[in-house]
């Protein structure tokens, strides 16, 4: 066992020479994750269904001085996930970090939710994360990191009818723990979960417009505000980096204290 304590602490957060894949990189937190990883030194492969918007993220990464490739990806297709990973290896030679960010959510009373709608949420959020992890797990080398994006709704409720979303995010926690046990010791791949609270994104826009999130923040978020995108992105960089080399199978909330209430 090698003790890397001689490495200066700030250097352990550096991702120079690393290659990261970010799914759902066309908007919101996905863009913030790509930007932060690039600022830490990584080159990026960006996946999303909305390929027209990926070009903006590619340009953002380029403005930071890092390289990026965009690949249209529907994570519900295992073949599409394999193509994203293959394109990453073809462009950069390796994959060191996966950020499983692609996800969707709905607010539907459970007695009205259609079976196909429920399946669609689980297919994207849970199955998509698994297919991407599986594809990356086949090519990643020891020292690699998978960061699955969960949610505080995998651990609590906020009185909104989101059964499919909450179920999928809770399942991501179980999936990540299992993969961490399977892969960390045998393959040297760490697997962790970031559980964001509420951030201003497309997914939360309805709640912001109705004022529901303002009320929720007032009642249940000790910090007293929504999160800033960069606050969640910094945690992703931490888990992706060697600074988190002794962390695997963990769930790290970034929620302003919501889970404490």
pLDDT for res 213:
80
In angstroms, what CA-CA distances link 79 with 15, 74, 86, 121, 138?
A: 28, 9, 10, 19, 14
Q: Where are the alpha helices (DSSP H) in the chain?
A: 28-39, 51-63, 78-92, 115-122, 128-137, 163-187, 205-210, 212-220, 229-240
Share of the chain above pLDDT 90, in %: 86
pLDDT for res 25:
97
Instruction: Kindly state whether residue 245 falls inside one of the protein's structural domains.
Output: yes
> How far apart are the C-alpha atoms of 142 and 125, rounded to whole Å?
26
In angstroms, what CA-CA distances link 215 with 8, 117, 212, 257?
A: 43, 28, 5, 15
- 198, with CB counted inside 10 A (0-12, 13-18, 19+), is buried
The pLDDT tens digits for 241-256 are: 999 999 999 999 999 9
pLDDT for res 214:
83
Positive or negative: CA dihedral 166, 239, 216, 228: negative
| Residue 46: domain span | 9-251
The CATH number given to whatever domain includes residue 13 is 3.40.50.720
pLDDT for res 212:
74
Instruction: Kindly state whether residue 260 falls inside one of the protein's structural domains.
Output: no
Q: Using N-to-C axis directions, what is the helix angle for 28-39 and 51-63, rounded to 10°?
A: 30
pLDDT for 4 beyond 80: no
pLDDT for res 256:
97
Instruction: Kindly state whether residue 106 falls inside one of the protein's structural domains.
Output: yes
**How many structural domains are present in the chain?**
1
Lowest mean pLDDT among 3-17, 25-39, 48-62, 224-238: 3-17
196-203 average pLDDT score: 84
Verify whether residue 165 is a known catalytic residue.
yes
pLDDT for 107 beyond 80: yes
Of the residues 165, 212, 228, 246, only one is catalytic, namely 165
5, 11 in Cβ contact below 8 A?
Answer: no
> How far apart are the C-alpha atoms of 224 and 204, rounded to whole Å?
17
188-194 average pLDDT score: 98
pLDDT for 6 beyond 80: no
The pLDDT tens digits for 48-88 are: 998 989 999 999 999 999 999 999 999 999 999 999 999 99
Instruction: Kindly state whether residue 63 falls inside one of the protein's structural domains.
Output: yes
pLDDT for res 43:
98
Instruction: Kindly state whether residue 259 falls inside one of the protein's structural domains.
Output: no
Contacts of 246 by beta carbon, 8 Å cutoff, 6+ apart:
none
pLDDT for res 41:
98
> How far apart are the C-alpha atoms of 44 and 135, rounded to whole Å?
16
Reported confidence tier of residue 21, pLDDT bands at 50, 70, 90 = very high
pLDDT for res 128:
98
pLDDT for 130 beyond 90: yes
Reported confidence tier of residue 208, pLDDT bands at 50, 70, 90 = low
Instruction: Kindly state whether residue 261 falls inside one of the protein's structural domains.
Output: no
123-151 average pLDDT score: 98
> How far apart are the C-alpha atoms of 78 and 84, rounded to whole Å?
10
pLDDT for 201 beyond 90: no
217, 226 in Cβ contact below 8 A?
Answer: yes
Instruction: Kindly state whether residue 1 falls inside one of the protein's structural domains.
Output: no
* CA-closest candidate to residue 184, choices 236, 237, 127, 146: 146
pLDDT for res 20:
99
pLDDT for res 182:
98
């Amino acid at each position: 066992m090698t003790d890397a304590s001689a490495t200066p602490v700030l250097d352990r957060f550096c991702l120079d020479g690393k290659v990261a894949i970010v799914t759902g990189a066309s908007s919101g937190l996905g863009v913030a994750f790509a930007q932060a990883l690039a600022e830490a030194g990584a080159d990026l492969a960006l996946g999303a269904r909305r390929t027209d918007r990926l070009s903006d993220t590619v340009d953002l990464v380029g403005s930071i001085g890092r390289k990026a490739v965009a690949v249209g990806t529907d994570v519900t297709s295992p073949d599409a996930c394999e193509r994203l990973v293959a394109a990453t290896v073809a462009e950069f030679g390796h994959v060191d970090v996966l950020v499983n960010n692609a996800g969707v959510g709905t607010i539907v009373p459970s007695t009205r939710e259609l079976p196909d709608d429920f399946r669609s949420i689980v297919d994207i959020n849970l199955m998509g994360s698994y297919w991407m992890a599986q594809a990356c797990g086949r090519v990643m080398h020891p020292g690699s990191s998978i960061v699955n994006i969960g949610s505080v709704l995998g651990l609590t409720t906020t009185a909104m009818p989101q059964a499919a979303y909450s179920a999928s995010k809770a399942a991501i926690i179980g999936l990540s723990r299992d993969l961490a046990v399977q892969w960390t010791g045998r393959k040297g791949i760490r697997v962790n979960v970031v559980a964001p609270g509420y951030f201003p994104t497309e997914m939360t826009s309805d709640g912001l417009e109705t004022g529901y999130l303002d009320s929720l923040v007032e009642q249940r978020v000790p910090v007293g505000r929504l999160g800033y995108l960069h606050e969640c992105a910094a945690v992703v960089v931490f888990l992706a980096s060697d600074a988190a080399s002794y962390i695997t199978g963990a769930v790290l909330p970034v929620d302003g204290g919501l889970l404490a209430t």
